[in-house]
Amino acid sequence: MDKITFIGLGNMGAPMAKNLLKAQLNVEVFDLNPSAVQELTELGATSADSLPQAVQGANVVITMLPASQHVQSVYLGEGGILDSVESGTLLIDCSTIDAETARDVSAKSHQRGYGFVDAPVSGGVAGAGAGTLTFIVGGSKDDFEQAKAILDHMGKNIFHAGEAGAGQVAKICNNMMLGILMSGTCEALNLGVENGLDPKVLSDIMLQSSGRNWALELYNPCPGVMENVPSSNGYQGGFMSQLMAKDLGLAMEAAVASQSPTPMGSLARNLFNFHNSQGNGQKDFSSLYEFYQKEK
Ligand code: NAD
């Protein structure tokens, strides 16, 4: 059976790899965190002591890493993926990184005879667990078709955004919008609460009104309004605020390159940077709600 190597078993990578195991695929895992590896081997994955060993004999390698520098070192560093895989291997990077790095890794992969797609995701930890992620893929049509057969086991909507890097461009546009929507949702809910409203009642009203949006509907940032979201779990798990700040930074870099006006994105970036500077970077990004509260 084809071997799939999955590298990066964090909040997103672990549930994604579990869905590959559920589909009865042959999965080998690698992460710097031994307990993350153990969780997957207990469910049937194999593991290796080093990255070169983990990707040896793989037909497909999937990475789900925090940021561009991790992707650069895991793919291009000495003893990295490009030094270690066999010709013809398909490489799928699901991390959210800058489009320039994605294009660079794609070009170097193709020079060495490997397929490569950038395939960042949307849908959060819940979508990763349920296998309903949206994948936004950049790469050639052939590589996309091959990748889609694997991504179908982890997602519901698989989009081909365009050539290499296009997945990342679409993803940062989406996340800039998400950062803006989350800021606005926190601000509106807090305004209502500080003017005497019950946040659950206000949320129900806005959900049937023109303020409805993804953050309000599926990821309410006010504790106690919704079950099974990070705000009702001390803002643990989910999408770390420092990762949202990273994505807003990527959006701002793209905006500088294309000279596009992004005043709302820039403000959202400042809000999250300030929030993170107060020691909140590792909390879920919906913890921005606390920034607005008078009484923390
Ligand atoms: P995370 O920090 O929880 O997980 C990253 C994992 O990568 C960790 O387990 C870490 O040990 C591992 N890692 C780091 N360097 C490594 C290396 N050199 N070799 C092997 N493993 C290494 O992050 P996450 O929340 O899973 O996010 C991963 C990516 O997905 C990020 O780019 C993020 O922006 C994006 N994303 C996250 C969410 C979300 O809701 N969490 C949603 C969409 C996209």
Q: Is the pTM of this model over 0.85?
A: yes
pLDDT per residue over 75-97, tens digit each?
999 999 999 999 999 999 999 99
Shortest-distance atom of ligand 1 to CA 243: 34
pLDDT per residue over 137-181, tens digit each?
999 999 999 999 999 999 999 999 999 999 999 999 999 999 999
Q: Tell me whether strands 155-162 and 133-138 are parallel, antiparallel or unpaired.
A: parallel
Shortest-distance atom of ligand 1 to CA 95: 32
Verify that 153 and 54 share a domain, yes or no. Answer: yes
For 24, the token pair is 């009865």
Shortest-distance atom of ligand 1 to CA 65: 7
Which of 134, 163, 192 corresponds to the end of one domain?
Answer: 163
CB 76 within 8 A of CB 108: yes
CA distances from 178 to 122, 228, 239, 251 (A): 10, 19, 12, 12
For the segment 235-258, the average pLDDT, to the nearest whole number, is 96
Substitution candidate for ligand 1 out of 5, 7, 11 with most atoms within 8 A of CB: 11
* Catalytic center residues: 171
Q: How far is the CA of 197 from the centre of ligand 1 (A)?
A: 37
Q: How far is the CA of 9 from the centre of ligand 1 (A)?
A: 7
Q: Tell me whether strands 115-118 and 90-93 are parallel, antiparallel or unpaired.
A: parallel
Verify that 127 and 215 share a domain, yes or no. Answer: no
Verify that 69 and 135 share a domain, yes or no. Answer: yes
Q: Whose CA is nearest to atom 15 of ligand 1?
A: 70
Looking at residue 294, its pLDDT comes to: 85
Looking at residue 1, its pLDDT comes to: 73
Distance CA 131, CA 293 (A): 35
- Domain carrying residue 70: 3-163
> Where does the chain have alpha helices with state H?
13-22, 34-41, 51-55, 68-76, 81-84, 99-111, 124-130, 141-151, 166-194, 199-207, 214-218, 241-258, 263-275, 288-292
Identify the CATH number of the domain in which residue 290 sits.
Answer: 1.10.1040.10
Substitution candidate for ligand 1 out of 28, 29, 31, 285 with most atoms within 8 A of CB: 31
Verify that 56 and 138 share a domain, yes or no. Answer: yes
End-to-end, the C-alpha distance of the chain in Å comes to 53
Which of 99, 133, 163 corresponds to the end of one domain?
Answer: 163
pLDDT band, residue 130 (cuts 50/70/90): very high
Identify the CATH number of the domain in which residue 148 sits.
Answer: 3.40.50.720
Looking at residue 91, its pLDDT comes to: 98
